[in-house]
Structure formats: C-alpha cells, structure tokens
C-alpha cells in the first residue's frame, strides 16, 4: 500500500472577483485572520485567510481562465455557536439561509452531498456568491 508524507490540507481555493473586498469580508465580517498577502510571478497576488487557530486556510484567488465565482465551495466550517453565528451574520447583512437546517427538516443538496441537518447547519454566501456551510460542532 502506498504511503506519503502528507500531514494536512493546507489550503482551499475560492474564486473571488475582488481580492480586497473579499479580504475585508473574511476578516471584518467572519473574523478570520490574514495569513498571507503577497505578489508573486510579477503580478499574481496570493491572499490567504484562516479562522483563528485553524491549520487549513482559504486562498482568495482571482479567477483565471474563465473560472467562475458564485460556486458551491464544498467547504464546511465548524462552530461552537451555530445559533449565534447565524444571527450575527444575518444582522451583518450576509446572505445566509433563512433558517438553520435541523435533523427533522427535509434534506438538501450542497457541495455534491445530501445534507440532513444533523448536526444543525446553515449556508452563507460571500460577496461573490460562493457558498459555505457552517456546522455546529457535534456533541461528544
């Protein structure tokens, strides 16, 4: 059986039309930290954000080669306060699902999977319409 030295997922790429606007949203609204922001290859900008204490980053990538924005990212974020986060994002004017999805609600499809509301979860969209899932940390 093959073995590698892979130890973690480093980053996921999310296409954004305006890296400065996206950076402000992820840091000022979601509370992420900026991990990297530099120019390479003469003109390409690399911008990474990360939730406090997380290992895996989100790279806010300028779309190239016709890659669209407004995608289902397939990225699920975990929270200890799904109710509070849902309310705070709604109050901040973020495009969030109207209600938190719960176990007895009809399942929905997102990011290539069927989701049934356990643990409680909701979707939100960034300013480019890229969708993410926020999921309550399951009880032990």
Instruction: Please give, one letter per residue, the 3-state secondary structure of 24-73.
Output: HHHHHHCCCEEEEEEEECCCEEEEEEECCCCCCEEEEECCCCCCCCCCEE
For residue 123, name the pLDDT band (cuts at 50, 70, 90).
very high
Q: Which residues contact 44 (CB under 8 A, 6 or more apart)?
A: 62
pLDDT at 1: 67
Task: Give the predicted TM-score (pTM) of the model.
Answer: 0.91
Give the tokens for residue 49: 């954000």
Q: CATH says 70-140 is which class?
A: alpha beta
* Residues 72-105 pLDDT 10s: 999 999 999 999 999 999 999 999 999 999 999 9
Domain with CATH 3.10.180.10 in the chain: 9-64, 70-140
Give the tokens for residue 127: 């300013």
The topology under which CATH files domain 9-64 is 2,3-Dihydroxybiphenyl 1,2-Dioxygenase; domain 1 (3.10.180)
């Amino acid at each position: 059986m093959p073995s590698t030295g892979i130890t973690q997922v480093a980053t996921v790429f999310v296409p954004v039309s305006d890296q400065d606007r996206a950076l402000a949203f992820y840091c000022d609204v979601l509370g992420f930290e900026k991990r990297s922001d530099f120019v390479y290859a003469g003109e390409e900008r690399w911008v990474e954000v990360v939730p406090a204490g997380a290992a895996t980053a989100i790279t806010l990538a300028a779309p190239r080669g016709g890659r669209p924005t407004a995608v289902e990212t397939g990225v699920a974020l975990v929270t200890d306060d799904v109710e509070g986060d849902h309310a705070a994002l709604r109050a901040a004017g973020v495009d969030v699902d109207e209600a938190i999805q719960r176990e007895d609600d009809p399942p929905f499809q997102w990011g290539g999977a069927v989701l049934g509301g356990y643990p409680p979860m909701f979707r939100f969209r960034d300013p480019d319409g890229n969708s993410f899932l926020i999921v309550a940390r399951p009880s032990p």
